[in-house]
């Protein structure tokens, strides 16, 4: 049987290594340091079509992530999608007349919300909503439009 001192040493080493591994997973593999939005505030936006936007998608401004989508719901009265976003409290400087649009990162990438700042001096507060929004691009509609336009061009030539 192993003696008490080295047994304690081994167990201590084991526990320390385990906790270290967990810390490595948390900080190096995961993104515990930057992901969590600190004392955030909520803003909402109404979109005609959210496309493939998902809860937890990024909300960016000038390409920098400033928050995330916290909920997507359907508005019964206006037949629009109501998107709630959690914005980091450090960025409470979004002008009131900013516009929010749903964009796609890359050709097949995830969809996210990009905020284009306006020029108003007053900024959005907790519970406010974006006045101007731009819906997601739906590929099928786009293709349909292109075909329709082409057909329209060639029709009078006949």
Partner 1 sequence: MNTLRILGRIVINSVERLGRAAMFLYEVMLGSWELVRRFYLVVQQVYAVGVLTLLIILVSGLFVGMVLGLQGYNTLVKFGSANSLGLLVALSLVRELGPVVTALLFAGRAGSALTAEIGLMKATEQLAGMEMMAVNPVTRVIAPRFLGGVLALPLLTALFSAIGVMGGHLVGVGLLGVDAGAFWSQMQNGVDFHDDIMNGVIKSVVFGVVVSWIAVFEGYDAVPTSEGVASATNRTVVYSSLAVLGLDFILTALTLGEV
Q: Which residues bind partner 1 (CB under 8 A)?
A: 2, 4, 7-8, 10-11, 13-15, 17-19, 21-22, 24-26, 28-32, 35-36, 56
Q: Distance between CA atoms of 42 and 127, rounded to whole angstroms?
A: 6
Q: Which is nearer to partner 1, 69 or 124 (CB)?
A: 69
- Cα separation, 125 vs 141, in Å, equals 35
Min dist. Cβ of residue 105 to partner 1 (A): 11
Question: Smallest distance from the beta carbon of 30 to partner 1, in angstroms?
Answer: 4
Measured distance CA(52)–CA(124) in Å, rounded: 26
Give the shortest CB-15-to-partner 1 separation in angstroms: 6
Nearer to partner 1, 7 or 139 (CB): 7
Let me know: does 56 contact 87? Beta carbons within 8 Å.
no
Which CB, 10 or 74, lies closer to partner 1?
A: 10
> Is 12 or 144 the residue whose CB approaches partner 1 more closely?
12
Question: In terms of CB distance, is 24 or 139 closer to partner 1?
Answer: 24
| Residue 113: burial class (beta carbons within 10 Å; 0-12, 13-18, 19+) | buried
Instruction: State in angstroms the smallest separation of the CB of 90 from partner 1.
Output: 19
- The region, left, alpha or beta by phi > 0 then psi within -120 to 50, assigned to residue 122 is beta
Shortest Cβ 67–partner 1 spacing (Å) = 15
Nearest Cα to Cα of residue 134 among 64, 93, 80: 80
Count of Cβ atoms closer than 10 Å to residue 118 Cβ: 15
């Amino acid at each position: 049987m192993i003696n008490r001192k080295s047994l304690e040493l081994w167990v201590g080493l084991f526990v320390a290594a385990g906790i270290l591994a967990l810390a490595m997973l948390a900080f190096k593999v995961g993104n515990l340091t930057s992901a969590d939005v600190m004392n955030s505030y909520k803003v909402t936006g109404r979109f005609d079509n959210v496309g493939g936007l998902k809860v937890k998608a990024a909300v960016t401004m000038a390409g920098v992530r400033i928050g995330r989508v916290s909920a997507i719901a359907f508005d019964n009265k206006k037949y629009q999608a109501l998107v709630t976003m959690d914005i980091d409290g450090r960025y409470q400087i979004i002008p009131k007349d900013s516009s929010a649009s749903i964009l796609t990162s890359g050709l097949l990438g995830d969809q996210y919300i990009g905020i284009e700042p306006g020029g108003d001096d007053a900024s959005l507060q907790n519970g406010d909503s974006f006045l101007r929004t731009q819906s997601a691009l739906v590929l099928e509609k786009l293709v349909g439009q292109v075909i329709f336009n082409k057909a329209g061009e060639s029709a009078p030539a006949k």
